[in-house]
Structure 1
Amino acid sequence: MLTATRTTTILPVSDPDRASRFYADQLGLTPLGGGPGDGTRLFELGRGDALGLMPAEEGAQSGHTVLTFEVDDLESEIGDLQRRGVRFEDYDLPELKTVNHIAVLGSQKAAWFHDSEGNVLCLHEVAG
């Protein structure tokens, strides 16, 4: 059953070395080594899932959120990642406004940032 499987999210990266440093050094993910022989580099995510960084041409990145990390304490995670050099986005749009990088979306709070390759990533916290 697909609902019981582990997943690997594949993101396009134009510079695999730069992207690998970002995910290991700035996000703190654990490298798992190479993937299926196409140059993809794998990183461990929580609960057995993985992230693959696949070499791709510049511009293959998406303009929308491609990966979100659920965290217990959004403010603390933002502070930790900022100390590692991650820069968070701020929005002031009719449908999305952030205060100190955080948007409140119903019972969730979220914050967005870009990886070294331009992919949009998100941290979110579900209100308990």
Structure 2
Amino acid sequence: MIKDLNVAGVLPASDLARARDFYRDKLGLEPENPEASDNLMYKCANGTAFLLYETPNAGTAKNTQLGWQSTDLDQDMADLRARGVVFEEYDFPGLKTENGVATMPTGERGAWFLDTEGNILSISTM
């Protein structure tokens, strides 16, 4: 069944070289297929992964497209900020961030940032 398979996210990039620099320099990630010219595969913990592929459609989604689960959000955010990641501030009905962090009624916390391609990414506690 599909529920027993690993899942991988897919993100668009209008400039794959620029995106590669962001994921390396800001997030500390290196692609599994560094020689590829039209897509980059990144592996993360526990068999999770995501693919960046080149397309002119990048940056058009207005929703969170990929998220990492953190066990220490404050430390992970501090590390990302030290690398130059800027967290978004939101003030919507049901979601307000303070210093980049939203606290949900359940006690979970999350933060969002953009990559160079306009993709909305998140890091949160679960």
Q: TM-score, normalised by structure 1?
A: 0.88
Question: How many Å apart are 1:113 and its aligned residue?
Answer: 0.4
Q: What one-letter code is carried by the residue in structure 1 that aligns with 2:44? A: L
Moved over 4 A (4+): none
Cα deviations across residues 55-77 of structure 1 (Å, max 9, x unaligned)? 01055531100011000011111
Other-structure match for 1:85? 84
Q: Percent identity?
A: 35
Q: Is this contact kept in 2: 1:68–1:122, CA < 8 A?
A: yes
Other-structure match for 1:71? 70
Give structure 1 stretches of 5+ with no counterpart. none
Question: How many Å apart are 1:99 and its aligned residue?
Answer: 1.1
Question: How many Å apart are 1:95 and its aligned residue?
Answer: 2.1
Q: Is this contact kept in 1: 2:87–2:100, CA < 8 A?
A: yes
Within 1, Cα distance between the matches of 2:14 and 2:112?
Answer: 21
Aligned residues: 125
Within 2, Cα distance between the matches of 1:19 and 1:59?
Answer: 11
Q: Is this contact kept in 2: 1:13–1:61, CA < 8 A?
A: no
Other-structure match for 1:102? 101
Q: What's the secondary structure of 2:3's corresponding residue?
A: helix
Give structure 2 stretches of 5+ with no counterpart. none
- Aligned-residue Cα RMSD (Å) equals 1.9
Other-structure match for 1:16? 16
Q: Is the alpha carbon distance of 1:68 and 1:38 closer, same or farther for their aligned partners in structure 2, counting shifts above 3 Å? A: same
Q: Is this contact kept in 1: 2:114–2:121, CA < 8 A?
A: yes
Q: TM-score, normalised by structure 2?
A: 0.90
Cα deviations across residues 13-70 of structure 1 (Å, max 9, x unaligned)? 00001111111221112310169x7811111121112111010105553110001100
Other-structure match for 2:56? 57
Other-structure match for 1:31? 31
